[in-house]
Amino acid sequence: MHRRRRTALLLTAALTMAAPLLTACGNDAHPGAAAVVGGQRITVSQLEDRVGEIRAAQREAVPEAQYEQAVARTGSLTRDTLHGMVLDRVLERAARDAGVSVTPKEVQQMRAGLEQQAGGAEALETAWLQQYGIPPQRLDDNLRLQVQAQKLAQRLGADTSRPEFWQALSEASRKLDVDLNPRYGTWDDEKSSRVDARTPWVRDVTVDGVQPIA
């Protein structure tokens, strides 16, 4: 995505302030769905649960005054969270098409390296939450996607900032026929991105340093 705008896997700055959550879906073709990806629904309730996880972790991690300030900063948490949930599935499809898999050992190796840099497990969890909106219970899932993105890029002979990587995601997006609830916008297959959303969570992470995709 042309050295895409800084994204969230050292996710773009802490995602905060949810837009009002849906109680009903505006897409008549898929009642109750926030998005349909590859024929599989991401329901409004699943999206609400994910946003709730982030909010609960933020509330627990900081004093009330700081939490309220964080919530006040942006109204895009719900949309950004849906963006990430869709992009997760796009990356999974691109990796599967390329024959890329990830082992638990690879995830733990990445986590161990990042914990060492951050100063421990709790420090890493806090940093991931505050800076990128990833709650502790989702950290391993997030790191698995980071490893997956790196391995996919390597399989393509590129890295996660190169056009070859993003082209693979674009092809996966088209195959999955992503359909967003209109309340959240539309999905751009070419960019593998929700229209008007901040760019994806995929970051370029190495044991020697964590470096967001530009």
Three-state secondary structure string covering 23-92: CCCCCCCCCCEEEEECCEEEEHHHHHHHHHHHHHHHHHHCCHHHHHHHHHHCCCHHHHHHHHHHHHHHHH
- Position 31 scores a pLDDT of 73
- Does the pLDDT at position 191 exceed 60? yes
Distance CA 162, CA 188 (A): 18
List residues bridging with 204 in a β-sheet: 211
76-100 residues labelled b (16+ CB within 10 A) or e (exposed): bbbbbbbbbbbbbbbbbbbbeebeb
In the predicted model, what is the mean pLDDT of residues 22-37? 63
Task: Give me the mean pLDDT over the 160-164 stretch.
Answer: 88
| Token reading at 93 | 């499809």
Q: How large is the angle between the packed helices 121-132 and 104-118, nearest 10 degrees?
A: 90
Look up residue 115 and give its two tokens: 């914990």
The Cα–Cα gap between 128 and 14 comes to 8
Angle (deg, nearest 10), helices 121-132 and 44-61:
120
Rounded mean pLDDT of the chain? Answer: 78
Domain-wise residue ranges, the chain: 33-212
Q: Give the residue, 50 or 210, on which the prediction is more confident.
A: 50
Q: Which one has a higher pLDDT value, 42 or 18? A: 42
Rounded mean pLDDT, 25-41:
76
pTM over 0.85, yes/no: no
pLDDT band per the 50, 70, 90 thresholds, residue 39: very high
Per-residue pLDDT tens over the stretch 111-130: 999 999 999 999 999 999 88
Q: Which positions ≥6 away from 30 have C-beta within 8 Å?
A: 36, 41, 179, 181
Of the chain, the end-to-end C-alpha distance in Å amounts to 9
Residue 154 Cα distances to 40, 99, 101, 104, 210, angstroms: 28, 12, 12, 19, 17
Q: How many CB atoms lie within 10 A of CB 20?
A: 7
**What class has domain 33-212?**
mainly alpha
Which position has the higher pLDDT, 67 or 138?
138
pLDDT value at position 42? 96
Q: What is the reported pLDDT for 70?
A: 66
pLDDT band at 4; cut points 50, 70, 90: very low
